[in-house]
Each structure stands twice: as structure tokens, then as C-alpha cells.
Structure 1
């Protein structure tokens, strides 16, 4: 059986953190998005996942033995934005009744062992290059936890690492950093038997703390609602002394928080049900908690696709969250689908990969795997660059991502290709984007093929953007639509584009040997782009000498690329 290398064992006690894996992001109108990272290296250098050290991590597996669920996730390599090759969980409830008996739940123990046995066989069949199994609160606190560890290791041959609360907090917070390199605030990971807090800033994990505030533990607190509320508040006050109380952003990790966020979406009628980077305000959360008191949870469970086991823990989770907001007073609250499992993946990444922008790396990976001509995205971006020289960094990274993704849906049926593009941006596992950015990127890619009109099924999602963002996304789509079809070798092989906003002129300088590429369809698309900019067009043929320089540069670039790949 493949096991994690010993080097990883040491790495599990250094400083960084994360945990989990599903959905995507969102933001409530009028709130500020979390800061975005400034990449340390160029966006279009050779992809880091081509490096030999990273190619060795082709399949990275994690088995997470939690108090409520047991899950195996297999990541498709150590890509900066995680790709989920395999993801399976079973809600075993190992920690149910632990506070009363001190023992793992007997039924949960049998179910967990069966699940882990299944996972170990699957891992062997997948020929994983790295497999790490960690156990958290229930196993570390139960008097029969060590016996369960021995039983699992005897049955599977895989080492089970029982990690302490602070290590769990570190890994969970590290998982948040995988998706949010610019995250700054407090990560809160709630499990069945415990709740961990970790401070994140400057791409590192700081102070950490653990507590018995998991729903299974809270079910045993005496004194009714008042006693429960006082117990939670006292515990959180002690935690605040350990991790600090001056955190403007709160990042929520764990199934109970995700279920609550999905209910917040239901109450608001929110149009994009992607949980990762979904943003809530404290005011909205309190409204949802109050709203839930008058709702039939079984009906909500069916409407939101929440399991009965998970929904049963939501009422206690709401009590914890209300007090969490009261004690720490964050201004913004985000949901992270990344947690301890992603934190373990982050642990195995080289520093240069950690420093990359997850959105750009994921987009490059998709282009390499799915586009007709990998590498064309860079040429398209270079061609369109005159339009965006003054774009702010957040907008520029979306433009880069759009150019990389502009052709990854070419295999879709032509009638649905534009909608397929929109779904790729809004629903695919792309990290480093809030919901507003997802919709902007989706709209731009949609317009790369056609204008969707006002009656698209996706129109409700446009409510997340303001009119100016919509205009910019439409313009970017038209720019890509023109540039992508001008020449198979890249638009700069046929022409150079110049933009004079003060003169309100969009100029195209054609290669004298390739004038025929600027045919009727190209002319129509160039005019449509100018119209979206609100400018007139100017066309001229370049002097041969000037264009020969451009063609020489293009040829040199192709030669360098061929030499690198060889």
C-alpha cells in the first residue's frame, strides 16, 4: 500500500493550514472582496506543474477520519488550484455520544473501519504517489481511540496520524490559504466534536486554538438554551484571548457551516449556489438564523440537498455562530470549501508553487488539457493588451484567465457552447475567485461565442454585477471573439491593435502579407468590438520592416517554446 513519505510526517508540524473540498464563492452586494494576491512570477512562464518535482505528485490522496464523517479525497497532482480526481465521504458519526461514554460510537466505529478498508483498496488501485490519513477530535479524545488506530493500521497497512487540536487548526487554516493566498483574518473549522480557530495573514498561519464546541459535545451541555448560550460565550471569550479579537474577516470551514450558508442562499434567493467563497454579512447570518426558527427543516433539507445527518446539527451550529459573531465581531464572513484535506495538499507543495495565483494556474492547466491550441491564450492576451493597459490588478487577472479559458469548451455542441463557457467559469473548481468575479468571467467567455441576449437562463446571475462590470465583460468577450479568429498562429501574426481612448479610435495595423485574413467576418467582429468601446475604427497596412520585426519575435518565441518542451 502506498503511504505518505516520512518527510511529510515532519512537515505536518510546521506552520501553515487547511481542510475540506467542494463548491465555490459569493459576495453580498456592497461588501468588499478579500484582497487578491500579486503573483511573484510572470503569469505565462512555463507551468510549474511541468516541473519534475511536481510531476512526481501525480495522485495525492488524503483520508480524513473526522468526528462526523470519514472521507477520502484524491487530488489530481499538486496543482495550485486543487483538481478532485476522486472524492467520497460517509457520515459515520464516530464522535456521537463521546461526551457521555468517552468511547467512539460503536456503530460509527464499524462503519468507519469499513469505509477506510474500502478507501485503502481504492488507493491501491489508483497507484497513489502519496497517501496521508489523519484522525481528528473523536479519535484523539476517545479512550479507545488508540485501539481504533491500531485496528485500522492492522487492516490497511496505512499509518493513521492522530493530530492534536492546534495541528488540526493549522492544517485547516492552511487549506483556506490554498484557495485564498491573500486571506487575512480568522479561520473557524467546526467538526462534530470540536471547533478550531486559526489566524491567517501574509500567506501564513499564526495563532491557533482548539475547543470542545462541536455539536456532538454541545448536545450534552446542561441548563437548557440559557446554559448552552453561556457555555459557548464563555468558551469563545477564552479563545479570543488566545487568537486575538481584531479580525475583520471570518472564514468558515466545515460541513455544518456550509449547510448553514446554503440555507442563507435559500432565504435570500441567491442565484449562484456555489458555496466556496460565498460571502455573508453578520446581519444576513442573523436574519437567516431567525428565519430558520419558523421553517420546516425537513422541507428545507429537500430543497437544498442537505443530508438528514447534517441538517440535524444545524440548530446547534447556529447557536455557536451567533455567539461567534458577538464575541469576535467580524465585518465579513466567507465560506471555504477547502479545509484540512486541502491543507495537507498545500503541505506537499514547493514554495514556488504556493506563491502562484490559483486562478491563473488552474486556467493554464485547463487550457493545456482542453484547448485546441494550448499556448494560444497568451498570444490572445498580448494582442488585447492595448485595450487594458490601465486595468487594475484584480481586473487584469480575470482578463488573463479569460484568454487562457477562451477555447476550453470548443467540443461542446455549438448551440450550447456559450452556456457551457459560462458554466465553466461559474461552477468549475477554480480557486481564487469570489462570486462576482466568477460571473464576470463567465459572461466574458459567453460573449466570446455570442451575445446571450436578455432571456438566457443565466440572466439572474447578472444581478451580482453592476452595469459597468457587465459592459466590460461583454467588451472583453467581443475582443476575444475577434482576436481568436484572426489567425490560427495567434492574432499578432496577422495584425497589431492600438487603442487611443482620448481620440476615441481603435486602430488595426495589418501585416501586408496577411491582409486576406481580415475578411468579412473579421471585419464585422472588429466593428462590433469598436462599437462596444464607443469608438471609431482605423485600418492601415504596416510597413514591411515593422511587421517583419513582429514576425521575427513570434518565430523566436515559438523556437524557444519548442526548445523548452524538448
Structure 2
């Protein structure tokens, strides 16, 4: 097993994560810490890092060094971004860090920061054409992505900390100063020609973007507290922007979801995001919880596992395999492969009956691949445990709703149960039409699961014929196979099939 520590020291916060790569090459996050250090405070006025900010950073780094010693971690990637990059005493501070902690920290360029953010996004969000911005305390990095590849990137010295200080936006807002700030930001961003009127979806990295997602979730009573891949629409952002910029400092703190650590920085951060919306012409912002740190890890992972590149071609397939790999062999691979294959065949054979397309099939197959993961909690009720785990697993390439739907489908792989329905915490995130689809598709999964009741993979092929309101499912087995148990189990689902599809299902074995 390989353990890797990553430290990301920004202008506002410092983050420390530990990831491990198992012998089967699956990876998982095992530790995380984050502190607000305000390293860039005062940088705009003096051009240097202040002693208080440096001392706060050193205090954290000494703790991180101790944690690495406790965890027996010898491999650490530590990077510093805009504050250290632009400070006159940045190099001296890095030497001081090494002298006092033994941690070797590297300053990365704005272009490399943008690229690492791109890697964090492209491997975790299923978009092909979009614009990334990574808003930190002292700078914002932009990356324009076409067909999944970065075509332009730039770093602009506009950050939540520096803009707050430059225009005195930390307490009660002077409308004139806010307008001056907006004009200043617009001038800087508009100077980059390829940012204008792209009309592409925005992907936002950084604490300000994440905090806007949290505020919007609270404002809209969003049931799930997941931030990564959350979609914030322009009209929702504008509502929050008005709330933030028109309230006094004391009343701003009452906004639900606004972090107490970010109350004084949120106005400047909001001004930057508003200007990005205006200049780019986007109508939505996809908030990413993955960025620079994940980019650093994916780069390391690709080298460690001898991959051709640090970008995964199919992020859903990769993340499903990775998640299964972290479960320590709890899933019977041959059984899952058989159930998934037969589930896909049933979907295709009954396509004339259900009318769903490739996206729905993808959700069904994802459910099939993960339907048994709940066994790691408890064999009993493992279908219900699987539903919960799928809904919260680090799976990439699906929307929040789609991931929950895949979990709901898996929850019925032993048949539809009212007990399971009552246990679904996020049931209201699926529409009535979604639940109709979930019940229909889960019937295919339940039939496929029943056909491999004995874990012998006896079914070779299936074929459907239809006549006079009866669907005949012809099941071909391998020579000499005993199918009595599978036949009995599948027949228990024919009543469910008729309820969901309105026709009789007849099983014929040969």
C-alpha cells in the first residue's frame, strides 16, 4: 500500500489530505484537515507576507508533519500558490518552513495551478466544453476546455482576500466602493479576449464557489448536503448576490449556509463570480469540490500506476471500479458480472415495452454493478445498505439525482419493498416519473439477480417473444445446468413484472 500526503497552502486556507493506493490500485481518501490562515492578509498593501499569517501557517504545518510521522508517511507533495508566488519574502518563507518543519514546499505557477484544477475537474465532472475558474484568496485561474482538452489558461491577480482589502469590502458595504471593485474586476477579466461571451457552462473551484452552493442549498431546501457537481443557476446566484451585498455585516452573518470564516470575504468573492457570469455569458455554475489537490493526486496516481495519462477516458466506469476495489473483496466479481450482463440483456429485449434510452440503461447498469456493495455493512438488508452507499459513494459522471436513482434501483434488487421505500432519505429528489422508471428498471435487475441465485452463472442467453399480452422469456442455460432454484426465484417476480408493465411474464428454460 502506498500513502501520499498533499499540502495545498493558499492565500486564505491551508489544506492537508492523505490518500492511499491499495495493492489492487484502488485509491481512497483517509484523512483531511483544513484551516483558515489568511496568509495573504496585508499582501496587497505591503507586497510581503505578514508575520501573523506565516506563524499561523507554520503552526498548521508542524501539526501536519506530526500526523505524517504518526501515519508513517514519507511521501509528501506540498505546494504554495498565489500569496507566496507574489510576495517579496515568499522564498524566504519557504526556507523557513523547511527549517522549522522539514517540509519541502514548492511554489507553482498560475498556469500549472490552472492545469491541476483542470485535472481535478475533468476526472470528476462529466462535461466536454466548459470554462473553469479557481477563485482563491489572491488570484483566479481560468481554463477554457473544448472537447475535454484545455485550450487556454490564465492566472489573474484577483482574489477574495486581496479584493476585500483593496476596496474595503469586509464589513458594511459602501455601494460606491463595490461598484469600483466590479469595474476593476471587469477590466482585468475583459482584457483576456478568449473569456468574452463563451456562453459555456462555468465550473467553479474554491471556497467561495462552494459556499455559494451551500447557501443555495439552504435557500432552496435542497435535501442532499453534497457540494461536488452541484448546479447553481444564474438567477439563484443573483438572488444570493443581492442578499450578500445589501446587508450590513451583522445581518450578513444570518444568511443560512454562509460560513462564519468567510463572512468578511464573501462580498469580494461574490463580485468576482458575478463579473465572470457577466463577461462569459453563462447561465449556470457547476460547483466542483475537486481541484488542485485532486489534480496533484491524479498526476501522481497516473505515474504510480504507469498510466498513459492522468486523465481517465470514462470517469464513471473508473470510479465504479475504484469504489468496488476499496471494499476489500466483499463483492463476488463473477456474480456481479453475470447479473450486470443479464440486466443489460433484459433492458434491450424489453425496450419495446419500456421505451427508455441509453442514459437510463447506464443508470441501471451502474446499479447492477454495485447492487451488492451493501454486504460490507451487513448481509441482512444489504439491498437497502447498497442503496445508501451508492447514493453517497465517490462516483463521478452522474448528476446528484442520477446517482440517487442508481441507488434506488439497486435497493430493489430483491424485489420492490415498502420497507426499503420508507428508508429512502432522499426519496423526494426523484420525481413521480423517476419512480415509475426506478420500479420498472429494478424489475430487470431483480430478475437478473434471481437467475444467478446459486452464483453458478448458469444462464447463457435470454430472448423475448411477445404475443397476446404475454411476454415469453426464453432462458438458455449452459449444458447440464440445474435451474430449479433460479426458476423458482424468478417466478416470485412475475407478479411484480405484471404490475409494472401490465403484461404477463412466462419463463421458458432450455
Q: 3-state SS of the aligned residue for 2:422?
A: coil
8 Å Cα contact 1:188-1:197 kept in structure 2: yes
Aligned partners of 2:332, 2:144: CA distance in 1, in Å?
43
8 Å Cα contact 1:68-1:95 kept in structure 2: yes
Task: Please give the residue correspondences for 1:163-562 in structure 2 after superposition, counting only pairs within 5 Å.
Answer: 163-180=108-125, 182-222=127-167, 224-239=177-192, 241-292=193-244, 293=246, 296-300=251-255, 304=257, 307-348=259-300, 349=302, 350-351=307-308, 354-370=311-327, 371-389=330-348, 392-412=357-377, 417-449=382-414, 450-452=416-418, 456=422, 458=424, 461-488=426-453, 490=455, 492-494=457-459, 496-500=461-465, 505-509=471-475, 511=477, 513-518=481-486, 520-542=488-510
Aligned partners of 2:507, 2:475: CA distance in 1, in Å?
6
Aligned partners of 1:313, 1:337: CA distance in 2, in Å?
19
- Residue of structure 2 equivalent to 1:40: none
Q: 3-state SS of the aligned residue for 2:95?
A: helix
Distance 1:396-1:131 versus aligned 2 partners, 3 A rule:
farther
Aligned partners of 1:369, 1:197: CA distance in 2, in Å?
34
Distance 1:322-1:453 versus aligned 2 partners, 3 A rule:
farther
| More divergent stretch after superposition (520-529 vs 227-236) | 520-529
8 Å Cα contact 1:60-1:75 kept in structure 2: yes
Name the Cα RMSD after superposition.
2.9
Distance 1:237-1:439 versus aligned 2 partners, 3 A rule:
same
Distance 1:105-1:82 versus aligned 2 partners, 3 A rule:
farther
- Residue of structure 1 equivalent to 2:54: 109
Gaps of 5+ in 2: 168-175
8 Å Cα contact 2:497-2:504 kept in structure 1: no
Deviation (angstroms), 1:368: 4.0
Distance 1:317-1:493 versus aligned 2 partners, 3 A rule:
same
Q: Is structure 2 residue 16 aligned with structure 1 residue 72?
A: yes
Q: 3-state SS of the aligned residue for 2:483?
A: helix
8 Å Cα contact 1:80-1:362 kept in structure 2: no
Distance 1:529-1:123 versus aligned 2 partners, 3 A rule:
farther
- Which protein, 1 or 2, shows the higher relative CO under an 8 Å CA cutoff with sep ≥ 6? 1
8 Å Cα contact 1:499-1:506 kept in structure 2: yes
> 1:2-45: per-residue Cα shift (whole Å, max 9, x none)?
xxxxxxxxxxxxxxxxxxxxxxxxxxxxxxxxxxxxxxxxxxxx
Deviation (angstroms), 1:338: 0.5
Q: 3-state SS of the aligned residue for 1:248?
A: coil
Aligned partners of 1:312, 1:500: CA distance in 2, in Å?
67
> 1:353-407: per-residue Cα shift (whole Å, max 9, x none)?
7334232223223334433423422111111222223664433332232112101
8 Å Cα contact 2:470-2:506 kept in structure 1: no
Aligned partners of 1:129, 1:432: CA distance in 2, in Å?
33
| TM-score with structure 1 setting the length | 0.77
- Residue of structure 2 equivalent to 1:561: none
Deviation (angstroms), 1:170: 1.6
Deviation (angstroms), 1:485: 4.0
Distance 1:194-1:380 versus aligned 2 partners, 3 A rule:
same
8 Å Cα contact 1:366-1:405 kept in structure 2: no
Distance 1:403-1:322 versus aligned 2 partners, 3 A rule:
same
> 1:178-198: per-residue Cα shift (whole Å, max 9, x none)?
212543211011111111111
* Number of residue-to-residue matches in the alignment: 481
Distance 1:474-1:217 versus aligned 2 partners, 3 A rule:
same
